[in-house]
Amino acid sequence: MQKTQPLKLILATSFILSAISGAAIAQQETVVPATKVTYGDYQNWRLLAISHRQDKKTLRAILGNNKAIEAARQGQTQTWPDGTVFAKVVWKETTHPSWPQAIVPGDFEKAEAMIKDSKKYASTGGWGFGYWEGKNLKMYPQEKSQECFACHVAVKAHDYVFTKPVLQ
């Protein structure tokens, strides 16, 4: 979805332009990098930690909104306060073209969220599970959230959060 939307837009624009001024412009307009991505509001958030999933061959940045950063700095992570939002931004891993021993982010894969609201999300440990579709944060339906939560139960003792902030 995320990748096809801008492409669709460009294709639509190209179509109109080509109708007006010929196919040459259309060809120019369709040359768009396939990995062009729209980021959500987490784009301006601070980094809490990074992770590398060897099994999934992805690199992740775990970012926090102001509430999360404030809580991390004050050591209020047991439990995280209501209003905390984490973004887990995931890229496929690749090797640096000039230095193959360095593993670096490749194509953007997805951005997922955890939102603390102890009342609203009481049935999943006080955490809502969501994802960004382009700029928009959407919540997963109940069934999917239960799946997310089921795995995060492994770190129940840490308020269901795997990430240990390393940059505060």
Chain residues in the site for ligand HEC (CB under 6 A): 51, 53, 60, 62, 86, 88, 112-114, 129, 140, 144, 147-148, 151-152, 161-163
Matching residue, tokens 């775990």:
62
CA distance 60 to 114: 14
- Residue (71 or 113) nearer to ligand HEC, CB: 113
Please state the closest distance from residue 5 (CB atom) to ligand HEC, in A. Answer: 21
Pick the closer one to ligand HEC by CB: 72 or 113. Answer: 113
The nearest distance, CB 19 to ligand HEC, in angstroms, is: 42
Tell me how far, at minimum, the Cβ of 1 lies from ligand HEC, in Å. 15
Query: Could you give the CA distance from residue 91 to residue 112 in angstroms, rounded to a whole number?
Result: 12
Specify the residue, 14 or 93, whose C-beta has the smaller distance to ligand HEC.
93
- State the minimum distance, in angstroms, from the CB of residue 20 to ligand HEC: 44
Query: Distance (Å, rounded) from C-alpha 7 to C-alpha 19?
Result: 18
Nearest to 129 by CA among 157, 107, 151: 151
Neighbour-count burial for 12-38, b at 16+ CB within 10 Å, e otherwise: eebeebbeeeeeebbeebeeeeeeebe
State which residue, 36 or 56, has the beta carbon closest to ligand HEC. Answer: 56
